[in-house]
Structure 1
Amino acid sequence: MAAGRTALVELGRGARGVTSAQSWPLKFQIGARTLFSIRRRLVRVPLELRDVLSGDAPALPPLPPGADGWSVTSLPEPLVDAMLSTSPIAFVRQRYTRYHTDLTIGFDAWFAGLSGNARSGLKRKAKKLAEANEGSLDVRTYRTAQELAEFHGIARQVAERTYQEKLLGAGLPNDIAFRAAMQGRGTRGEAFGWLLFVGGSPIAYLYCPMTGGDVRYDYVGHDPAWSEWSPGSVLHMEAFRTLFDEPAAQRFDFTEGEGQHKRQFATGGTACADLLLLRGSLGNRATVKALRAFDGGVERAKRARDWPVLGKAMHRLRRG
C-alpha cells in the first residue's frame, strides 16, 4: 500500500524534511538484563500494525551524513531476504510474532475463543481481586484530556515501583512532552488509560494510544507486591470490555516481541523480524560480529539451562 510506504519514509525526518539519525543503543541482553551496549547512529523504520498486515515492503529513507544505517522493526518474514540484500552489512537481531486482536468481534466472542484454562484462570483471578476490594473490581477508564492528566499522576505512583521502570527504564514516562502528547490525544479521543484499584489504592495501570483504529499496547505495569494476583491480566481483560464497545477501535496491537500474555489475548499474529542494515565500515562490521557472537552464546546457554548448575546461574543473570 502506497500510503503505508509514504508514512515510513517520513519517519526519522526532521522539522525541515531532512532525514535524521539518532544515537541508538544496540544492547547485549540476557533476558531483561542489559549487560552493556554499543551506540550507533541509526535511522529508525518501525512498521506499524497496518504496515505489517499490508505485506508491502517499506521504502528506506536516505541516510544522512554520519549515520551508520537503518533499524527496521517488525518486518514481515516474507520480506526479510529481499531487505537484507539492500545493505553491505545486514543482521537479523530478533524474530518474533507480532500479535493483534480483532476488536470488531465483540467481547463475548473473544472471551469464548480463549482456552478453557485461560477463561477459568481469568475468572478466578478477577474474583480474587474483587474479594480483596469488598466484593467488586474497581477498574477506572480515562479518555478525555482532563481525565488522562489525572490518570498520569496516579499511574506514575504505580510505575515508580514496577520492574519495567527499575530494570528496563520503560515505565510510564514523566516528562512534559509525553504528558502534553497524552492530553492532546485525549482531546482528539485517541487515547485510553485504565487503572485497577484495591482498597482505594492503585495497583496496576495500562495506557494505550489509538491511531487509525489501531490501539497500541504502549505502557503497562503493576505493583510488584500484587504480582501473585495477576493484576495486569485482569486489568487488560477489563480494558478489552471497554475497547470492544468502542466503535472507533478496530484492532489491538501488541507491538514487538513475544509473551504468553500476548499469545493468550491475541486473535492473530504475523511472523516478523527486526533488522540492522548498516554501512560497510570497520566499526559496523566489528559491532555486528560482536552481536552475532553474543547472541549465539546466549542461545547456546538457553539450550543448556536445564543443566542443574548452569541453569540456576542463568536464571539469576536474566533477572539481575
Structure 2
Amino acid sequence: MGTAAIDFTVGSRRLLSVPRALATWAFSLEDVLAGALPAVPPSGRDGVRVLSAPTARLAEITARYPGFIAGGRQDYRRHYIDMSQSFDDYMAQFSGKTRSTLRRKARKLADEAGGYTVTEHRTPAEIEAFLAAALPLSARTYQARLLDAGLPKSPEARRAMLEAAEADQMRAFLLHAGGQPVAYLSLPLAGQTLVYAFLGYDPNWARLSVGTVLQMDALERLFAEERYRWFDFTEGDGAHKEMFGTHAAACSSLVLLEPTLANRTLLGARAGFDASVLGAKALAERSGALGRIRALLRA
C-alpha cells in the first residue's frame, strides 16, 4: 500500500493535491488485451486507485469493492503500436502528408541546430549516463514543474532502472542538439511490451518538435530489434499518442474509496471542480481563447 493523491488540475497545472492511503490496481496493456481480472484485487486503508482498466470491465471491477464510492473517473483511448510488423510497414500506415511532415520536422531541427544526434542507452553504465543527462533536463519540463510527473530521481527509481538494464529490460534515448541534451525517452520492458514511461524535452526547444523527432528515431531502432510485440503509450489520450499509435483500447482510470464522510466530501468537491473546469473550457473554446489559456497554464 502506498500514498496516492486526489488531484485538482486545470490543464497541465495542479492546483491542489489531497493524499490518501491507496493500493494501486494497474492494468498492463497485455492485461487489457487478454481481458482477464485477477482473483484477488488489491486493497488499501482508504481504498484503491484503478489505472488503465478496460472500460468494458468496470462494472466487474467496482463489484469487487461493494459499498466503496467511485470518483475521479477518466475515460480515454489507450493507444499502442503493433510491433510485429516492419518499420517500413508501420510508416506506410501514415498518410503521405504525415510522413512528409515528420521528415520536415527532422530536417528543420538539423538545419537550425547545426545537426543533432540520438544516443541509445541499455546497459547499467549507459543508464547511469542517461540519468546524469536526463534528470537535470527533466527538472526543466512543465511535467516536472507543474505535475510532479518528470523522470523520477529517487534512489528506488534509479535502482529499478539499473536492475532492469542488468536484465536487458530497459531502453532509453537522448536527443542532443546545440551541444546539449534536449529531449529524453525512457522505456522499460514488461513482458513483450515496451512501456512509454517518460518523455520530456527542454521547453526552449519545443518549437522544433524535439519530442516527435526523438520518438521517430527511437521507433526505427526498436523495430529493427524485431524483439517486441507491443509499444504501450499507457494511460491518457493525446495528439502525440494518437498520431504514433496503430491501435487503441477503451480504458478508464478512477479511485474507489471507503464511504467515509471525508471521502464523500472530497469526491464531491472533485466532481464539482471538474464540472466547473469543463464549463470554463467550453466557454474558452467558443470565445477562441483556449490556446492562450493553455499557454498561460504551462508558463
Does TM, scored on the shorter chain, surpass 0.5?
yes
Amino acid corresponding to residue 283 of structure 1 in structure 2: A
Residues of 1 paired with 2:11 and 2:40: CA distance? 30
The Cα shift of 1:232 comes to 0.4
How does 1:179-258 map onto structure 2 within 5 Å? 179-258=158-237
Instruction: Report the Cα offset of residue 314 of structure 1.
Output: 4.9
Residues 158-197 of structure 1: pairs in structure 2 closer than 5 A: 158-197=137-176
Q: Measure the CA separation in 2 of the matches of 1:316 and 1:120.
A: 27
Partner Cα separation in structure 1 for residue 57 and residue 71 of structure 2: 14
- 1:113 paired residue number: 93
Aligned to 2:128: 149
**Which residue of 1 is the match for residue 32 of structure 2?**
52
Who is 1:269 aligned against?
248
1:93–1:273 contact (8 Å) kept in structure 2: yes
Unaligned runs of at least 5 residues, structure 2:
none
Whether 2:282 is the aligned partner of 1:303: answer yes
The aligned length equals 297
Partner of 1:77: 55
Task: Tell me what 2:118 maps to.
Answer: 139
In the alignment, what sits opposite 2:76? 96
- Asked whether the 8 Å contact 1:208–1:216 carries over to 2, the reply is yes
Aligned-pair RMSD on alpha carbons? Answer: 2.1
1:287 matched to 2:261? The reply is no
**Please, which moves more after superposition, 165-174 or 24-33?**
165-174
What corresponds to 2:46 in structure 1?
68
CA contact (8 A) 2:194 2:232 kept: yes
Q: Partner of 1:13 in structure 2?
A: none
CA contact 2:116–2:178 (8 Å) conserved in 1: no
Quick check: 1:30–1:317 contact (8 Å CA) kept in 2?
no
Amino acid aligned to 2:62: L
Which residue number corresponds to residue 19 of structure 2? 39
Shift, 1:98, TM fit:
0.8
For residue 61 of structure 1, report the CA deviation from its aligned partner: 3.1
Tell whether the 8 Å contact from 1:77 to 1:272 is kept in structure 2 after alignment: yes
- How has the CA–CA distance of structure 1 residues 59 and 319 changed in structure 2, closer, same or farther, with 3 Å as cutoff? farther
Residue matched to 2:66: 87
Q: How far apart, CA to CA, are the structure 2 residues paired with 1:175 and 1:92?
A: 27
Decide whether the 8 Å contact of 2:187 with 2:198 is kept in 1: yes
Shift of 1:270: 0.5
Tell me which moved more, 223-232 or 34-43.
Answer: 34-43
- Structure 1 residue 318 displacement after superposition: 3.8
Structure 1 unmatched ranges of 5 or more: 1-20
Alignment partners' CA distance in 2, 1:283 and 1:59: 30
Is the partner of 2:284 in helix, strand or coil?
coil
Partner amino acid for 1:297? Answer: S
TM-score (norm 1): 0.86
* Aligned 8 A contact 1:45 1:60 in 2: no
**Shift, 1:60, TM fit:** 4.8
Deviation at 1:312, TM superposition (A): 7.7
When normalised by structure 2's length, the TM-score is 0.92
- Secondary structure at the counterpart of residue 285 of structure 2: coil
